[in-house]
Amino acid sequence: MITSILFDLDNTLIDFWKMKKMTCDAAVSSMIDAGLKVDKEKALKELFAIFEKHGFEDSTVFQKFLIKKIGRVDYRILAHGVVAYRKVRIGFLEPYPHVVSTLLALKKKKLKLAIVTDAPKLKAWMRLASMKIGDYFDAVVTFEDTKKLKPSAMPFEAALRQLKANPRHCLMVGDWPERDIKGAKKLGMKTCFARYGNPNVRKSGADYEINDIQELLKIVK
């Protein structure tokens, strides 16, 4: 019997990749308008390569990008990029379809809900606040809480302690098999792969797979 559900945040509750692509596209376009001499498509590929190397939460990625392209940080160009990035990010932050209604239905079933994310605490809470879903969760575990990334057991254990939950009665929902699914299975939790957040994965190794978050209601029924 499932009594608690743990959720990843990015690409499980929010379409993080789409948001990142839109914000970076706006940032590069704005930097070009401010005088940066680059090909837009090549620049976007280079920017994402920097993200992949240093992490998608790196707050200095545009500085690194400018140093690579022109050998220094031009703060006028940087400012244009950052402003454009933030404007698009604020306007885009919305949950996937059916997230709010599903969370509400799960709470009505008296299930305990938690977030387990590798994102920094402030950024995680800003995303939850922007989507207006933070109040649905009984616990929110971020990178700062354990200083460990999934699939380490520590973030999952921290959430379980806050929920006072038995891992055998918990379901972990996430889009990253190597982190979300693998980490939860270490503790004996049931797992659910959010295929809508990572459709290119062939085999998730999860106990369940869903193409829409509202399918969770059938799993916990």
Which residues, at least 6 apart from 42, have a Cβ–Cβ distance to it below 8 Å?
none
Percent of the chain exceeding pLDDT 70 equals 100
Residue 9 region by backbone torsions, left for phi larger than 0, else alpha for psi between -120 and 50, else beta: alpha
Mean pLDDT taken over the chain: 95
| For residues 146-162, average pLDDT | 97
Distances (CA, A) of 160 to 7, 18, 101, 171: 12, 30, 24, 11
82, 61 contact by CB (below 8 A): no
Percent of the chain exceeding pLDDT 90 equals 88
Q: How confident is the model at residue 94 (pLDDT cuts 50, 70, 90)?
A: confident
Q: How confident is the model at residue 91 (pLDDT cuts 50, 70, 90)?
A: confident
Residue 145: per-residue pLDDT: 97
* CA–CA separation, 134 and 84 (whole Å): 26
Residue 67: per-residue pLDDT: 98
Query: Tokens representing 191?
Result: 């797992």
Angle at 14 between CA 58 and CA 94, to 5 degrees: 105
For CATH 3.40.50.1000, the residue range(s) in the chain are 4-15+95-219
State the residue for tokens 């969760």. Answer: 137
Question: In the predicted model, is pLDDT for residue 66 greater than 90?
Answer: yes
* CATH superfamily placement of domain 4-15+95-219: HAD superfamily/HAD-like (3.40.50.1000)
Question: In the predicted model, is pLDDT for residue 90 greater than 80?
Answer: no
For CATH 1.10.150.520, the residue range(s) in the chain are 17-92
Residue 31: per-residue pLDDT: 98
Residue 57: per-residue pLDDT: 84
Query: Tokens representing 77?
Result: 């160009």
CATH class of 17-92: mainly alpha
pTM of the shown model: 0.86
Could you tell me the sign of the dihedral formed by the alpha carbons of 176, 180, 186, 190, in that order? negative
Residue 21: per-residue pLDDT: 92
Q: How confident is the model at residue 208 (pLDDT cuts 50, 70, 90)?
A: very high
177, 160 contact by CB (below 8 A): no
* CA–CA separation, 12 and 212 (whole Å): 10
Residue 219: per-residue pLDDT: 96
Q: How many CB atoms lie within 10 A of CB 151?
A: 18
Buried-exposed string 100-139: b where 16+ CB fall within 10 A, e elsewhere: bebbeebeeeebbbbbbbbbeeebbebbbebbebeebbbb
Q: What is the pLDDT of residues 14-59, one digit of tens each?
A: 998 888 999 999 999 999 999 999 999 999 999 999 998 998 888 8
